[in-house]
Amino acid sequence: MKKNLYVLLSLLVLVSMVLAACGGGTEAPATEAPAGEATEAPATEAPAAEPKVATGAWSQEPDNIVPYYTQMSYAIWIVQLTLVGLAEWDDQGSFVPELAAEIPSAANGGVSADGLTITWKLKEGLKWSDGEALTSADVKFTWEQVMDPANAPLSRTGYDKIASVETPDDTTVVITFSELYPGWQTLFTQGPNNAGAILPKHVLEGKTALESDPFIHQPNVFSGPFAITEWVAGDHMILVRNDNFYGSPAILDQVNIKFVPTPETALAALQTGDVDWYPDFSESDIETVGALEPAVHLKVVPGADFEHYFFNLGTTAGVDGKGVADQDGFCPFKDIKVRKAITLGINRQAFVDSLLAGKTTVPVSQWPNSEWENKNLTPASYDPDGAAALLEEAGYVLGDDGIRHGDCNGTDTPLSFTFDTTDKQLRVDIALAVQSDLAKIGVEFKPNHSPAGTFFAGYTDGGIMPTGNYDMAGYTTGFYPDPMPGAIDSFSCNTVPSKDQPAGANNYLICDPQLDELMAAGNATADPATRKVAIDALQQYIFDNYYVVMMYARANVYGYGDRFVPGPFGFFSNMNWNAEVWDVK
């Protein structure tokens, strides 16, 4: 008996040791960049003085780091640091050159009279981190690999409108579109909603199925201010200065990125100095982070994204055969007076002041803080009396249950409806406040929170929005850097999801031919001034019809330690657009 017990205990210990031994070293073997190439690539000499190193904490790990195969914000941030494009958006939201010598325009001959041909001039003497020349051939190769059917990029939007890319010399790229594409600035360039870096022809030429190629996880050639030397899956990434960067070499010798899944841990790490910055606090963390001054600095940058609530405006009848939804939306929402009353009955400014610490604003349209925003509009103020009067006018009177009832298409209908959104805490808090506000005007608002993966499910997966299985819903989105493609996809009759159009992105299920016309006008010209007039009219129309309730402009909330010196923060381009100027005290 005693012997058997010892045998068993020994066996358990042995199993433990074997399992531990199976673990091997502490390094994840596969995602590390080849040491020889990586150290050779940036051509960085170890400085005699103590190296300048800054460490950031990110709440998510990039899925990969090559544009066209990722749509993840964190991946796009890494791309900004390592693989740049022809141009980018600066802290003022201006479009500025990167690899390009100048931004194409009609004045410099870069944009043809018909808007169909764009000519980019590259800077002279550009180099990849391994010393190879970066030329117009790399730009052409980038387009070819995006369009190659043997590759599976996540999006070909815009690139599929290009008829040809010509390279008359090493620094000239002539792009000819098959049809007018006003959003040409989003192609081959870097932005928060687009990662269009140039890819190295001398490394990738001849390869197919790039989505499965090790390069997208272990690139060894870079064009940005930093080069990746180590990526330990789930843990961290190490970047060192790339001395072949087109601009001034980065001030920092090394940037570390640590993947920290909880903001609480990141906050503690900022306080101990384990990390220097965290770029991903929620608006609800503003007061907590702000209280840590002066050891930890808070930076809140109002962004171009917006949180909005919207009505299910779907109809099974459609309009002239277009925009046919699977279900009819909540009947009272078809009445503009009801939509307006709900908008007036929500005290949006109070949420901004209390839950968002007054650091952002109630937006007036879908283009907050952007040059496209219609500055002539003013958000409707909180007016519960006016809201109640509108509901009376629409025929909805208070019942004994405290809820208004009225006739809608011949049916007695209570103003009681569900509201769907994700289970993010800030959304839960705000939905409760909205519930309280609307109760005051006799409207029953019933929040229903789901995980994001469920809430945003597509039509094929029976998602509540595309199938029209909701009354009212809310989430964050943004239409930028180019103002129109996202808006058209979201509001057009042609993109109402259905069995025939399962990928339709029109979650409002709205089909309004006049709206379609206004959007078409906003996309009918490449001339910014003419577009602005059209997009202003579009905003006015959406505003006047109360199609959506604009809740608040989202803010990017950063926390950084006192020793870290970031560059100017951009509202389009976050803090990574000019990482070369980052420093530490």
Within residues 257-276, the interface with another protein by CB under 8 A covers 258-262, 264-266, 268-269, 271-275
Q: Is 340 helix (H, G, I), strand (E, B) or coil?
A: helix
Angle between helices 513-522 and 528-545 in degrees, nearest 10: 160
Q: Which of residues 52-71 bind another protein (CB under 8 A)?
A: 55, 57, 60-61, 63-64, 69, 71
Nearer to another protein, 19 or 107 (CB): 19
Is the backbone peptide bond immediately before 34 cis, with ω within 30 degrees of 0? Answer: no
Residue in this structure with the two tokens 């159009």, named with its chain if needed? 501
Q: How far is the CB of 210 from another protein (least distance, A)?
A: 10
Greatest Cα pair distance, the chain, in angstroms, is 94
Nearer to another protein, 167 or 450 (CB): 450
Residue in this structure with the two tokens 């009177």, named with its chain if needed? 397
Determine the residue type at 319.
V
Given 14, 15, 106, 317, the residue binding another protein (CB under 8 A): 15
Q: How far is the CB of 137 from another protein (least distance, A)?
A: 26
Please count the other Cβ atoms lying within 10 Å of the Cβ belonging to residue 356: 25
Element (H, E) at 240: strand 236-241
Q: Which of residues 399-458 bind another protein (CB under 8 A)?
A: 451-458
Nearer to another protein, 271 or 525 (CB): 271
Q: How far is the CB of 238 from another protein (least distance, A)?
A: 7
Q: Which of residues 548-567 bind another protein (CB under 8 A)?
A: none
Q: Which of residues 238-257 bind another protein (CB under 8 A)?
A: 238, 256
Q: Which of residues 498-537 bind another protein (CB under 8 A)?
A: 501-505, 507
The whole-angstrom separation of Cα 549 and Cα 540 is 14
Q: How far is the CB of 401 from another protein (least distance, A)?
A: 35
Contact mark string toward another protein, 18..47, x via CB under 8 A? -xx-xxxxxxxxxx----------------
- Contact criterion met (CB below 8 Å) for 436 and 474: no
Q: How far is the CB of 504 from another protein (least distance, A)?
A: 5
Given 206, 234, 294, 321, the residue binding another protein (CB under 8 A): 234
Nearer to another protein, 414 or 502 (CB): 502
Q: How far is the CB of 316 from another protein (least distance, A)?
A: 20
Q: Which of residues 448-487 bind another protein (CB under 8 A)?
A: 451-458, 460-461, 463, 475-480, 485-487
Please count the other Cβ atoms lying within 10 Å of the Cβ belonging to residue 348: 25
Q: What is the DSSP string of 37-78?
A: HHHHTTTPPPPSSPPPEEEEEESS--S-SSTTS---HHHHHH
Per-residue CA distances from 359 to 178, 267, 282, 347 (Å): 44, 19, 12, 16
Nearer to another protein, 351 or 480 (CB): 480
Nearer to another protein, 2 or 585 (CB): 2
Q: How far is the CB of 212 from another protein (least distance, A)?
A: 6
Q: How far is the CB of 411 from another protein (least distance, A)?
A: 32
Nearer to another protein, 171 or 284 (CB): 284
For the purposes of burial, counting CB atoms within 10 Å of the CB of 176, is it exposed (0-12), middle (13-18) or buried (19 or more)?
middle
Phi/psi of residue 31, nearest 5 degrees: -95, 5
Q: How far is the CB of 479 from another protein (least distance, A)?
A: 6
Contacts of 417 (CB under 8 A, 6+ apart): 330, 444, 445, 446, 471, 472
The whole-angstrom separation of Cα 569 and Cα 274 is 22
- Told to check if 495 binds another protein by CB under 8 A, we report yes
- Told to check if 10 binds another protein by CB under 8 A, we report no
The whole-angstrom separation of Cα 68 and Cα 148 is 12
Q: How far is the CB of 298 from another protein (least distance, A)?
A: 17
Q: What is the DSSP string of 253-267?
A: SEEEEEE-S-HHHHH
Structure tokens at 100: 């390009």
- Told to check if 321 binds another protein by CB under 8 A, we report no
Q: Which of residues 155-174 bind another protein (CB under 8 A)?
A: 155-157
Q: Which of residues 91-150 bind another protein (CB under 8 A)?
A: none
For the purposes of burial, counting CB atoms within 10 Å of the CB of 168, is it exposed (0-12), middle (13-18) or buried (19 or more)?
exposed
The whole-angstrom separation of Cα 345 and Cα 340 is 8
Nearer to another protein, 487 or 542 (CB): 487
Q: Which of residues 324-363 bind another protein (CB under 8 A)?
A: none
Nearer to another protein, 21 or 113 (CB): 21
Q: Which of residues 180-219 bind another protein (CB under 8 A)?
A: 186, 193-194, 211-212, 216-217
Q: How far is the CB of 403 from another protein (least distance, A)?
A: 32
Element (H, E) at 326: none
